[in-house]
């Protein structure tokens, strides 16, 4: 968008001003360097050169192309994500780069490129925006908007977010999911940690490395085994070719269940004993750190036990764990995580509509109770 101001009989274009996110110093001239400042105005934050240098911490690399690396945000089996600063435009971004040792595998590079191409065609206020990418030669990376609010689970716990606000965020995410489904795609890995929060409190769906087209045959993504078993829908365990929109509905239901209860709707007593034995063997003095540090090994050892419970076990009603949750909201969550996909919501839009209807009634009743 170009802002305009009338000067006597003439109309002159005036570029929008941009400022450093930390010190409020103007960065307008740099922001407009590549002509994309207006296009990215709603998704980009800026740092002046002084603040950017002050934020730089030790990392395994200083620069990638035109991007100065500020620090490492996270690392997985195939890639690493950095907080970075685009030197020409002063944009703060998240830069996802395939690990150098992985570039020798053609299949891994193909799927990394696939994720970038999928995200390139997804422009929605509740989906993380792809800004730039370089795929080929010696570098494989793509650049995303930087979201300082962290993941949804951490955001909710850190800010003691109200039930109403959490539901509004979830409605927005369901809107993003509906948009993805409208493009003929399934996200395939929805969980609270793949919903990132902007500095304004907007939730955005991220991480499309397991995304696929409706009815697509198995794509053998080398990172597929990284999917957390408790977020797998029964039908995708039976046959990966069954992955469709209903899987995203199920994962969204599991995410809501986890956010409101800190638990999952599966009772796995034998798994609890396995985990206790695992921790005792590794480091019984610090069980939480042990579980986090050895998460992949733990998942690898016990994923089959979890899958069998998902397929055969009963779901624990969410009110069993969170008795003060409004019953209408509990019904929405329990419906989304039903074992048979035919019994779940038919679409993300239908689930969002149910959540909006609940919110309307909940807010009305709350207002009436607070009235003198």
* Banded pLDDT at 307 (limits 50, 70, 90): confident
CA pair distance 132, 203, nearest whole angstrom: 21
Measured between alpha carbons, how far is residue 334 from residues 5, 6, 19, 174, 364 in Å? Answer: 54, 57, 45, 16, 23
What digits encode the pLDDT tens for the residues 55-113? Answer: 999 888 999 999 999 999 998 878 999 999 999 999 999 999 999 888 888 888 888 99
* Banded pLDDT at 230 (limits 50, 70, 90): confident
CA pair distance 317, 258, nearest whole angstrom: 12
Tokens of 49: 């050169």
Class of domain 152-267+314-370: mainly alpha
- Which helix (H) or strand (E) segment holds residue 218: the answer is none
Average pLDDT over residues 305-320: 88
Question: What fold is seen in the domain 16-145?
Answer: Phosphorylase Kinase; domain 1 (3.30.200)
Q: How many CB atoms lie within 10 A of CB 355?
A: 22
Residue 127's SS3 state is: strand
Average pLDDT over residues 210-225: 64
Cα 255 from chain centroid (whole Å): 11
Alpha helices by DSSP H, listed for 215-286, are 234-238, 245-261, 269-282
Q: In this predicted structure, what is the pLDDT of residue 5?
A: 39
Q: In this predicted structure, what is the pLDDT of residue 363?
A: 93
CA angle 163, 167, 168 (to 5 degrees): 120
Average pLDDT over residues 193-220: 86
Q: How many CB atoms lie within 10 A of CB 318?
A: 24
Q: Please determine, for residue 7, whether its predicted confidence score (pLDDT) is greater than 50.
A: no
Average pLDDT over residues 266-285: 70
Residues 102 and 217: beta-carbon distance below 8 Å: no
Q: In this predicted structure, what is the pLDDT of residue 12?
A: 38
Q: In this predicted structure, what is the pLDDT of residue 241?
A: 74
Domain boundaries along the sequence of the chain: 16-145, 152-267+314-370
Residues 66 and 56: beta-carbon distance below 8 Å: no
The alpha-carbon radius of gyration of the chain (Å, integer) is 23
What digits encode the pLDDT tens for the residues 132-162? Answer: 999 887 789 999 999 999 999 999 999 999 9
* Banded pLDDT at 47 (limits 50, 70, 90): very high
Q: In this predicted structure, what is the pLDDT of residue 354?
A: 99
Could you give the percent of the chain with pLDDT greater than 90?
63
Q: In this predicted structure, what is the pLDDT of residue 215?
A: 66
What digits encode the pLDDT tens for the residues 187-201? Answer: 999 999 999 999 999
Q: In this predicted structure, what is the pLDDT of residue 279?
A: 73
* Banded pLDDT at 2 (limits 50, 70, 90): very low
Average pLDDT over residues 153-174: 96
Residues 238 and 337: beta-carbon distance below 8 Å: no
Q: Please determine, for residue 269, whether its predicted confidence score (pLDDT) is greater than 80.
A: no
Residues 351 and 336: beta-carbon distance below 8 Å: yes
Least confident of 31-35, 235-239, 259-263, 319-323: 235-239
* Banded pLDDT at 11 (limits 50, 70, 90): very low
Between 246 and 8, the higher pLDDT residue? 246
Cα 38 from chain centroid (whole Å): 25
CA pair distance 53, 61, nearest whole angstrom: 15
Tokens of 240: 């990966």
Q: Please determine, for residue 8, whether its predicted confidence score (pLDDT) is greater than 60.
A: no
Q: Please determine, for residue 10, whether its predicted confidence score (pLDDT) is greater than 60.
A: no
Residues 38 and 2: beta-carbon distance below 8 Å: yes
Burial class (CB in 10 A: 0-12, 13-18, 19+), 284: exposed
Q: Please determine, for residue 220, whether its predicted confidence score (pLDDT) is greater than 80.
A: no
Residues 184 and 121: beta-carbon distance below 8 Å: no
Q: How many CB atoms lie within 10 A of CB 351?
A: 25
Contacts of 89 (CB under 8 A, 6+ apart): 30, 31, 32, 33, 34, 36, 37, 46
Q: In this predicted structure, what is the pLDDT of residue 6?
A: 40
Q: In this predicted structure, what is the pLDDT of residue 292?
A: 57
Average pLDDT over residues 282-295: 64
Task: Tell me the whole-structure pTM to 2 decimals.
Answer: 0.87
Measured between alpha carbons, how far is residue 140 from residues 33, 145, 274, 337 in Å? Answer: 24, 17, 39, 37
Q: In this predicted structure, what is the pLDDT of residue 106?
A: 87
Q: In this predicted structure, what is the pLDDT of residue 218?
A: 54
CA pair distance 339, 182, nearest whole angstrom: 24
Average pLDDT along the chain: 87
Least confident of 10-14, 159-163, 332-336: 10-14
């Amino acid at each position: 968008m170009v802002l305009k101001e009338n000067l006597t009989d003439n109309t002159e274009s005036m570029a929008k001003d941009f400022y450093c996110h930390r010190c409020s110093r103007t960065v307008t001239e740099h922001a407009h360097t590549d002509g994309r400042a207006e296009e990215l105005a709603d998704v980009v934050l800026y740092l002046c050169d002084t603040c950017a240098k002050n934020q730089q911490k030790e990392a395994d690399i200083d620069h990638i192309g035109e991007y100065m690396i500020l620090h490492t945000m996270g690392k997985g089996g195939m890639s690493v994500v950095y907080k970075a600063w685009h030197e020409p435009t002063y944009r703060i971004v998240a830069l996802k780069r395939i690990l150098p040792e992985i570039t020798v595998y053609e299949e891994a590079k193909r799927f990394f490129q696939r994720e970038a191409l999928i995200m390139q065609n997804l422009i929605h206020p509740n989906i993380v925006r792809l800004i730039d990418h370089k795929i080929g030669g010696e570098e494989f990376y793509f650049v995303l908007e930087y979201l300082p609010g962290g993941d949804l689970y951490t955001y909710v716990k850190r800010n003691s977010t109200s039930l109403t606000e959490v539901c509004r965020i979830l409605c927005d995410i369901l809107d993003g999911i509906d948009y993805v489904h409208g493009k003929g795609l399934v996200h395939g890995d929805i969980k609270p940690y793949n919903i990132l929060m902007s500095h304004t409190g907007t939730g955005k769906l991220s991480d499309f490395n397991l995304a696929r087209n409706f009815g697509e045959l198995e794509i053998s993504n080398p990172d597929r085994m990284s999917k957390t078993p408790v977020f797998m829908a029964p039908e995708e365990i039976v046959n990966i070719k069954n992955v469709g929109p209903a899987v995203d509905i199920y994962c969204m239901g599991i995410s809501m269940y986890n956010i409101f209860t800190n638990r999952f709707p599966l009772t796995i007593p034998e798994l609890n004993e396995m985990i206790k034995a695992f921790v005792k063997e590794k480091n019984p003095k610090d069980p939480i750190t042990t579980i986090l540090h050895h998460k992949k090994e733990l998942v690898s050892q016990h994923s089959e036990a979890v899958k069998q419970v998902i397929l055969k076990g009963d779901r624990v009603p969410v009110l069993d764990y969170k008795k003060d949750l409004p019953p209408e909201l509990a019904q929405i969550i329990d419906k989304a995580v039903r074992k048979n996909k035919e019994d779940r919501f038919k679409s993300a839009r239908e689930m969002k509509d149910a959540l909006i209807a609940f919110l309307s009634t909940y807010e009305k009743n709350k207002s009436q109770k607070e009235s003198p």
